[in-house]
Structure 1
Amino acid sequence: MGDLDIRTAVAEDIPAIVGMLADDPLGAQREAPDDLAPYLGALERISADPNQHLVVAVRGGRLVGTLQLTVIPGLSRRGATRSIIEGVRIHADERGSGLGTLFIEWAIDESRRQGCQLVQLTSDASRIDAHRFYERLGFTASHVGFKLEI
């Protein structure tokens, strides 16, 4: 990956991660970069769970991407373990550079290393460009997703 380093996120990364989460119309409505306390608490919970992997992509000393990979052991599919890729964000300056492809390929490879037989992800219905991106990488839109805020 050349000068790209993918590593586990640490507390010092939170401002940049939250900035990327908030840097689009959807994220701008639901993220609060001026109050990092809830994000730092979430990082503590994520870091304590061996099935959670919050990672960042760093290029030239600058944080340029983030994603969370969750490994879920299960009974269905003959006891298959699956992973879920969530919270994928690429810094605006890096979009179109191929970083997103490298990052998702890293997540797929890491899922294999973790013993997963299936990788899945969700993408907001309004993110049409992201849907095309994931389809180019071999993902299929196979399910309808539902959410319930509680």
Structure 2
Amino acid sequence: MSDLLGDLHGRPVVRRARADDLPALVASSAALFAEDAGTRDATVDIGWPLAHGAERFASGLDDPARLLLVAERDGEVVAHLAGAVAEGSAVRPVKVATLLSLYVRPAHRGTRTGARLVAAFLDWAREQGAGQAEVTAYAANEDAIRFYERHGFGPRTLTLGQAL
């Protein structure tokens, strides 16, 4: 899943992650945790990617039910996307592809890198036979919500929470 046109136009190349991308995936995930959950959810351990990310990402490299993509420019990973697909259940008998995480370094935002990662995820989801794609975002993250809505996602459920 290479996007060589990205390289021809000076944009990052979107491709599947490899084992040598693990440090960059961990760094990208850590940046996402710090920027998103770190500013919106005090219950999230923002150190999780540094402690467990390499193991989690490594286990997904060869798992056909998981997708790990990177966007690379000049040999440097500038964005990542992680996704998974799961079979339906008796209650909800549809295969669902979930976009688990997406992060684009601030200097590369506005370059359609995120859009290209999402398009690759949706193509993969269709190839896996998914009938539904979903993503979650913090309600306070209006930029992320607008981004995902521009790419065809819309609200389906709402989770309400209360600190105890």
TMscore range, shorter length: 0.7 to 0.9
RMSD after superposition: 2.8
Relative distance call for 1:137 and 1:18 in structure 2 (3 A) is closer
Q: Distance in 1 between matches of 2:135 and 2:76?
A: 26
Q: Per-residue CA shift, 1:11-62, capped at 9, x if unaligned? A: 23244323432451534664238x8342222224434643122222112211
Asked if 1:32 corresponds to 2:41, the answer is no
Q: 1:101 offset after TM fit, Å?
A: 0.9
Task: Give distance in 1, aligned partners of 2:14 and 2:74.
Answer: 9
Q: Structure 2: which 5+ runs fail to align?
A: 8-12
Aligned residues: 147
- 1:71 matches 2:85: yes
User: Structure 1 108/132 Cα, relative in aligned 2: closer, same or farther at 3 Å?
Assistant: same
Q: What does residue 89 of structure 1 align with? A: 103
Q: When you count strand as a share of all residues, which structure comes out higher?
A: 1
Amino acid at match of 1:31: I
Identity %: 26
Residue 2 in structure 1 maps to residue 17 in structure 2 = no
Structure 1 counterpart of 2:145, which letter? H
Once residues 14 and 135 of structure 1 are traced to their aligned partners in structure 2, the CA distance between those partners, rounded to angstroms, is: 25
> AA paired with 1:21?
L
Residue by residue, what CA displacement relative to the aligned partner does 1:83-104 show, whole Å, maximum 9, x if unpaired?
A: 0001111111111111111111
Stretches of structure 1 lacking an aligned partner (at least 5 in a row): none
TM-score (norm 2): 0.75
CA contact (8 A) 2:23 2:54 kept: no
The answer to whether the 8 A contact 2:32-2:103 is kept is yes
How far did 1:127 drift? 0.5
Paired position in structure 1 for 2:143: 129
Give the TM-score of the pair, scaled to structure 1.
0.81
AA partner of residue 145 (structure 1) = T
